[in-house]
Amino acid sequence: MQVCHGRAPPLRRVRPGDTVVYYSPTERFQARETLQAFTAIGIVKDSDPYQVEMGEGFRPYRRDVRWLQAREVPIRQMLGLLEFTSGHRSWGYSLRFGLFEVSAHDVQTIAQAMGAAWPPRVSPQLACP
């Protein structure tokens, strides 16, 4: 996984066994066409953040994740079901922070909507690119 434009500190906050859910505001990075969907879910593996060479001197940090099979789920159909969005007119504001913790309830609700096989251990984290 890569978060917050490849910065290492946010990746050091997650621990092996934590669940990560990716939210994608657009189809592609810096594109105009909106997606606004949860697009991936997985479990952080037991490894440290590491750098990868992307070209032109860009060396972002990443962390290994065991991705689960899942389908995209539009966030709009879940706004009233999630604790971090329910009752918030500006629900998208928290998603701008890049990596933040959400409740086990929200992770379980998202995983169920995505059709992901749910692991028994839940340590929730939500990541968005």
Helix (H) or strand (E) holding 9, with range, is: helix 8-13
Reading the block at residue 28, the tokens are 């592609």
Kindly indicate the confidence band of residue 29, based on its pLDDT and cuts at 50, 70 and 90.
confident
Query: What DSSP state is assigned to residue 48?
Result: -
Give how far Cα 49 sits from Cα of 8, 59, 126, Å: 7, 12, 17
Instruction: Return the domain boundaries, the chain.
Output: 4-127
Residue 70, helix vs strand vs coil: coil
Report the alpha-carbon distance of residue 78 to residue 80 in Å, rounded. 6
Kindly indicate the confidence band of residue 119, based on its pLDDT and cuts at 50, 70 and 90.
low
- Nearest Cα residue to 107 out of 98, 89, 119, 91: 119
**pLDDT value of position 109:** 95
- What does the pLDDT look like over 35-79, one tens digit per residue? 999 999 999 999 999 999 999 999 999 999 999 999 999 999 999
- What is the fold, at CATH topology level, of the domain defined by 4-127? ph1033 like fold (3.10.590)
CB of 90 within 8 A of CB of 104?
no
Report the alpha-carbon distance of residue 34 to residue 56 in Å, rounded. 28
